[in-house]
Amino acid sequence: MTYKEAKKSFEKLFNHELNDAQMREFLLSLALDENTSVESLAAAASVMRANAIALRVEEDLRLKLIDIVGTGGDKIGSFNISSTVALLCSAAGCYVAKHGSRSVTSKSGSADMFESLGVRLDLNIEAAKTLLEETGFTFMFAQNYHPAMKFIMPVRKTIPNKTIFNVLGPLTNPANTTKIMLGVFDKSFVPKIAEALKINETKSAMVVSSRENMDEISISGITYAARLMDDTITEFEIDPQNYGIKKAPLEAIVGGDANFNAALVHKIFANNATEAQRDIVLINVAASLIVDGMARDFQDGLQIARETIFSKKAAEKLKQIIKVSNSL
């Protein structure tokens, strides 16, 4: 399918012009594999975002926004790394519009962890906007922003295999962010998702997938990456050991339920976590700061990330976000 053809098909889906049988047949044709096209990814993301309830902010603020998110689905069982990274980036001075949902394949989705931390999930659009303006961070609970998914998801759940919807969430931020740090569970989708982001006019992005198929930058080995900047995509590899990060096994960053992962966020921000737990957050923060434009390179980003923890800015930012979200 061309981009225009795919867009027309997805518009029919999201406009509820298909009955359940037709919807299921269409979703079955969207298997997530080596045949998934960039055009389908871009068209689906464009239509899904167009049908979302938009979080509208002033244009100068929108252009500063970054999302930091993983697709999930890597089955590694790590703690909520991208959510922890998002909070730390906000403390470092980024404007983070975090888009996420409850757990699908893990013990704790981003929404589950933020709820356990004490951040309110039931904020209306205006309250979410105020939280962003006052703290430099907001969490957009996906189910509150994508009403069209209410009739698509029951059919989607009858399909056992992965479909294109397994990677669409991170591509459909309701705040229409122009910057994103995005992890995916399969390295073959790294260049495809980068291309889809480019088609949909993302200005700055890094898409990553580790050798172990982790949807983050790993500290257990090499991570494959694609950097989108100024309409140019560059593919490269990230080896954290080149930046002084010690190699650690995957078992060192395994998480638990929402309460366990929330407690771990507090430990990391108090500099009381293990070296591996802290380091995997630091390297992913460094990459996110590069995408945001706050850091020149990984070494610069790592220095900013460490200072944000050691200065207690991270712990204070988390307290502020919790307090303001509960006052709205």
Predicted local distance difference test score (pLDDT) of residue 145: 96
Predicted local distance difference test score (pLDDT) of residue 103: 75
Closest to 177 measured CA to CA, from 45, 283, 265: 45
Predicted local distance difference test score (pLDDT) of residue 328: 96
pLDDT at 221 over 90: yes
Contact yes or no for 323/137 (Cβ under 8 A) = no
Tokens coding 259: 């309460």
Q: What is the separation of C-alpha 163 from the centre of its chain, rounded to a whole number of angstroms?
A: 18
Dihedral, 327, 108, 196, 219 alpha carbons, nearest 10: 110
The pLDDT tens digits of the residues spanning 49-90 come to 999 999 999 999 999 999 999 998 888 999 999 999 999 999
- Residue 105: band (very low, low, confident or very high) from pLDDT cuts 50, 70, 90: low
The vertex-137 CA angle with 177 and 60, nearest 5°, equals 45
Mean pLDDT to the nearest integer, 245-255: 97
Tokens coding 139: 């969490």
pLDDT at 107 over 90: no
Look up the pTM and report it.
0.96
Hey, which residues does 226 pair with through a beta bridge?
207, 235
Q: Domains of the chain (ranges plus CATH)?
A: 63-141+175-327 (3.40.1030.10)
Mean pLDDT to the nearest integer, 238-258: 97
* Amino acid, single-letter form, for residue 298: F
Rounded Cα–Cα distance for residues 170 and 139 (Å): 13
Please, what sign has the CA dihedral across residues 35, 193, 10, 167? positive
pLDDT at 262 over 90: yes
Tokens coding 50: 């167009």
Predicted local distance difference test score (pLDDT) of residue 74: 82
DSSP string, 201-223: T--EEEEEEETT--SS--SSS-E
Closest to 265 measured CA to CA, from 278, 254, 276: 278
Query: CA-CA distances (angstroms) from residue 86 to 10, 47, 175, 210, 215?
Result: 30, 26, 15, 19, 15
Rounded Cα–Cα distance for residues 89 and 282 (Å): 10
The vertex-191 CA angle with 186 and 195, nearest 5°, equals 130
> How many residues in total does the chain contain?
328
The pLDDT tens digits of the residues spanning 21-54 come to 999 999 999 999 999 999 999 999 999 999 999 9
Mean pLDDT to the nearest integer, 301-319: 98
The pLDDT tens digits of the residues spanning 120-169 come to 999 999 999 999 999 999 999 999 999 999 999 999 999 999 999 999 99
Contact yes or no for 243/235 (Cβ under 8 A) = no
Q: What is the separation of C-alpha 25 from the centre of its chain, rounded to a whole number of angstroms?
A: 29
